Amino acid sequence: MKIVIRRAVVGGVFVLAAAASSAFAETTLNALFMSQSAYSEADVRAMTDEFTAANPDVTVNLEFVPYEGLRDKTILAQGSGSGYDVVLFDVIWPAEYAENGILLDVTDRVTADMTAGVLPGAWTTVDYNGAHYGMPWILDTKYLFYNKDILAQAGIAAPPKTWEELTQQAQIIKDMGLLDTPIVWSWAQAEAVICDYTTLVSAYEGSFLTDGAPSFQTGGGLDALNYMVDSYNAGLTNPNSKEFLEEDVRRVFQNGEAAFALNWTYMYNLANDPAESKVAGNVGVVPAPGVAGKSEVSAMNGSMGLGVTATSQHPDEAWKLVEYLTSQPVQNKYARLSLPIWASSYDDPAITAGQEELIAAAKVGLAAMYPRPTTPNYQELSVALQQAIQEALLGQATPQDALATAAENSGI
């Protein structure tokens, strides 16, 4: 009881001190975050509350928008010359942001400890032309999730190691009548479909751009789309995938209506939560498969970083917030929905406990992350590719023609 009272008094003094100091040196930071997948809104609020408790002279205004709104908000705020101090950004935007002077080059602020401690692959999330434009924060790739129960019923001993095997296993499940369409993906006309496609491109050793010109319309890029279309036409892929985003995939998978699903890290703990999911305890996760003779596994870089805007009036405080949110203790504490960027966390029993399978998959997957093209014209390329993939799936064009058209309309 005494301790409680003492804590209350000390806490009260802190609050008073905070109120007093804020009267003198109040800094308000505006920060833009995303309200879907990875860290939950509650997690981000808790993290920033801890930060402001430790830095009483700083207040942080948080704004949460859907993923689709992040880029628009950031760019428009920049255009008006004021707005956010800290922004969350996707791995595909640093090129555009750097070219347009939206983000501060923070290369000099990154310490040697950070460089040594963060997984080397994570830096590709925030790098452009050899400079760091922020800190990686959400380290993510697409994993292959599977329903252990359904695989056991089908007599399948181990999840697929290659995409070909995935097709065979799905066929077995379909033939046994366990499920009509065993695989579910996020193939809506959105960035989500590009993420699934990129995973396959990495498996088939394709490339998006060669010497600055589109090259996805041949070789591995074409093989990847052919795989998608074949799986769709064979009835192995849930046909509704073409209107699904990641959350739809999660719902289908956790209702037990899919044996296989491609999705981000966050699905693992949610699909294993009995309050949310009908398949809790039956969720298996492995790195996305490879292609015989080409790759062992496949993965794409779906990470996101935190950066300080070039228009921020308080770059030092803003960087302090970024440093705090991306620090190892904070990331370790909130490692249920998003895994840390710090290499040593992956061997920390406190992190791995209860999610050993996910950590094992992450160790392999994160090391194999394949990037989407780094170009300031990424959006145009992405929109053209989204259309091409959907036209091929709907049979409006052959994969070859669709990708050739996309290459022409890619703005590159």
CB-wise, 83 or 134, nearer to other proteins? Answer: 83
Q: Provide the 10 A C-beta neighbour count for residue 84.
A: 23
In the complex, minimum distance from the CB of residue 74 to other proteins, in angstroms, rounded to a whole number: 10
Least Cβ distance, residue 140 to other proteins (angstroms): 22
Characterise 134 by phi-psi region: left (phi > 0), alpha (psi -120 to 50), beta (else). left
CB of 358 to other proteins, least distance (A): 25
Give the nearer residue to other proteins in terms of CB position, either 369 or 392. Answer: 392
Least Å from the CB of residue 70 to other proteins: 13
Footprint of other proteins on this chain (CB under 8 A)? 72, 75-76, 78-79, 96, 100-102, 188-190, 239-240, 242-243, 248, 251-252, 255, 257, 377, 379-380, 383, 386-387, 390-391, 394, 396, 411
Which residue has tokens 């040594």?
116
Measured over all CA atoms, what is the biggest interatomic distance in the chain, rounded to whole angstroms?
76
Kind plus residue range of the DSSP H or E element containing 36 = none
What is the smallest separation between the CB atom of 90 and other proteins, expressed in angstroms? 13
Other beta carbons less than 10 A from residue 129's beta carbon = 11
- Least Å distance, CB 81 to other proteins, is 10
We find the least distance from the C-beta atom of residue 320 to other proteins, in angstroms, to be: 26
From the CA atom positions of the chain, what is the Rg in Å? 22
Of all helices (H) and strands (E), which one includes residue 89?
Answer: strand 86-90
The angle, 0 to 180 degrees and rounded to 10, between the axes of the packed helices 219-233 and 163-175 is 0
- Assigned token pair, 76: 């428009």
Cα 343 to its chain centre, rounded Å, is 18
H/E stretch holding 131 reads: strand 131-132
CB closer to other proteins out of 153 and 189: 189
- What gap in Å lies between CA 354 and CA 349, rounded to an integer? 9
Provide, rounded to whole angstroms, the least separation between the CB of residue 304 and other proteins: 18
Q: Closer to other proteins at the Cβ: 326 or 386?
A: 386
CB-nearer residue toward other proteins: 81 or 349 = 81
Amino acid at 326: T
CB closer to other proteins, 26 vs 99: 99
Distance in Å, CB of 71 to other proteins, minimum: 8
Q: Which of 100, 233 has the CB closer to other proteins?
A: 100
- Structure tokens that stand for 290 in this block: 């490879």
- Of 35 and 387, which has the nearer Cβ to other proteins? 387
Task: For other proteins, give the closer residue by CB, 188 or 195.
Answer: 188
* Residues forming a β-bridge with 143: 263, 287
The whole-angstrom distance between residue 145's C-alpha and the CA centroid of its chain comes to 15
Q: Specify the long-range contacts of residues 249-255, CB closer than 8 Å, at least 24 apart.
A: 249/184, 249/185, 249/186, 252/184, 253/145, 253/147, 253/184, 253/279, 254/278, 254/279, 254/280, 255/279
Burial of 202 (C-beta count, 10 Å sphere; 0-12/13-18/19+): buried
Amino acid at 318: A
